[in-house]
Structure 1
Amino acid sequence: MSVSNPLRKFVDKVNQYPASVSAFLMTKVFRFKVKLAGTTSIEVVSTDGRRVEYRLKNRTKVQNHIGSVHAAAMALLAESATGFIVGINLPGDKLPLIKCMNLNYVKRATGDMTAVATLTDAQIALLAQQEKGEINVQVKVTDETGIQPVECEMIWAWVPKR
């Protein structure tokens, strides 16, 4: 039997509000829980439980020496989006852990960044049923022109909480 997930309950509750209110509330909670994401001002745009969209504005504090979003900030954006979608789909007695991040920077980024992470029905079932395991979470990071400056592979594991 699955243990209730308080984060999932929160997401389901706030998704009943208008989109702007829902996004604001999820962003506040996310930034409170993940301090580094709060420092970079990552925003939760939306989620339906299978897909999540995050945004990172190209502000001075996240820029590299050429004025675009820093590579490490792009990695944080991808890791945050994938971690969130895994976290809301795990039973409450499991702990998500990033196991592997492979990032291949292929183009120069322009402007704000968006990350969209998704889980399949099979992956969601796996998270709910297995005591521990790992999955490769699909994430696409794009800039404001729609190009994908970084190709990401994010492998998440989960274990029972102690």
Structure 2
Amino acid sequence: MSQSNYLIDLYDRCARWPFGQALFSRLFARKAPYFATIGPRVTELRPNFCEVRFAKRRKVENHIGTVHVIAICNALEMAMGGLAEATIPKHLRWIPRGMQVDYTAKADSDIRVTAETNPEDWKPGDLPVKVTAYRADDTVVVQGTIMLYVSEKPPKA
């Protein structure tokens, strides 16, 4: 992207400070307060890619002591939202249409999630965002797609 992006600019400004990723993550989670329920940390943000991490702790566990998949999906959606806001061209807008995920392994550690797109995919219509969650040993625990609908912004009056 040749143009400046408000979210990447904020991330870069915060990253220069001690605890900057934590500060950015709190600010970003305020846009959708539900994100804060998992204690996320945005660890990488650039066009077409976002990485979010969160710790395995009692608050996000299920009845068998692994990280609950809904907590993981929350992080996947946060990563997708960060990617979308950091990537979408200024003349377009986006809205999620659905999420399809597969549970592939037990999530028995801290979690790292990523969201990825290709630059050429950002045009009006459906846009599949690849989302993946990993446990500490890099085993994939959840993988799937969040479908976005991308459209032209209406002209300003």
TM-score, normalization by structure 1 = 0.80
CA deviation digits over 1:102-143, x for unaligned, max 9?
Answer: 1111221111111022222313xx2xxx4x322111222101
1:34 aligns with 2:67: no
- Of 141, 144, 148 in structure 1, the residue corresponding to residue 140 of structure 2 is 148
Change (3 A) 1:134 1:5: farther
Residues 98 and 157 in structure 1, CA contact (< 8 A), matched pair in contact too: yes
CA deviation digits over 1:5-27, x for unaligned, max 9?
Answer: 53343235445x26x64422320
**How many residues of Structure 1 are paired with residues of Structure 2 in the alignment?**
152
**Partners of 1:29 and 1:49 in 2: CA distance:** 19
Identity %: 22
Alignment-derived partner of residue 78 in structure 2: 80
Alignment-derived partner of residue 97 in structure 1: 95
Residues 40 and 73 in structure 1, CA contact (< 8 A), matched pair in contact too: yes
**Partners of 1:51 and 1:75 in 2: CA distance:** 17
**Partners of 1:25 and 1:95 in 2: CA distance:** 26
Q: Which runs of 4+ in 1 moved over 6 A?
A: none
The one-letter code of the counterpart of 2:140 is: Q
- Of 127, 131, 138 in structure 2, the residue corresponding to residue 139 of structure 1 is 131
**Partners of 1:14 and 1:92 in 2: CA distance:** 23
Residues 5 and 90 in structure 1, CA contact (< 8 A), matched pair in contact too: no
**Partners of 2:136 and 2:145 in 1: CA distance:** 21
**Partners of 1:8 and 1:91 in 2: CA distance:** 13
1:41: how far off?
0.9
Residues 100 and 156 in structure 1, CA contact (< 8 A), matched pair in contact too: yes
Alignment-derived partner of residue 11 in structure 1: 11
Give runs of aligned pairs for residues 53-68 of structure 1, distance below 5 A.
53-68=51-66
CA deviation digits over 1:57-110, x for unaligned, max 9?
Answer: 112111100111111111111111112101111245644211121111122111
The one-letter code of the counterpart of 2:142 is: V
**Partners of 2:39 and 2:51 in 1: CA distance:** 14
**Which residues of structure 2 form unaligned runs of 5+?**
none
Instruction: Determine helix, strand or coil for the equivalent of 1:111.
Output: coil
The one-letter code of the counterpart of 1:152 is: G
**Partners of 1:10 and 1:109 in 2: CA distance:** 31
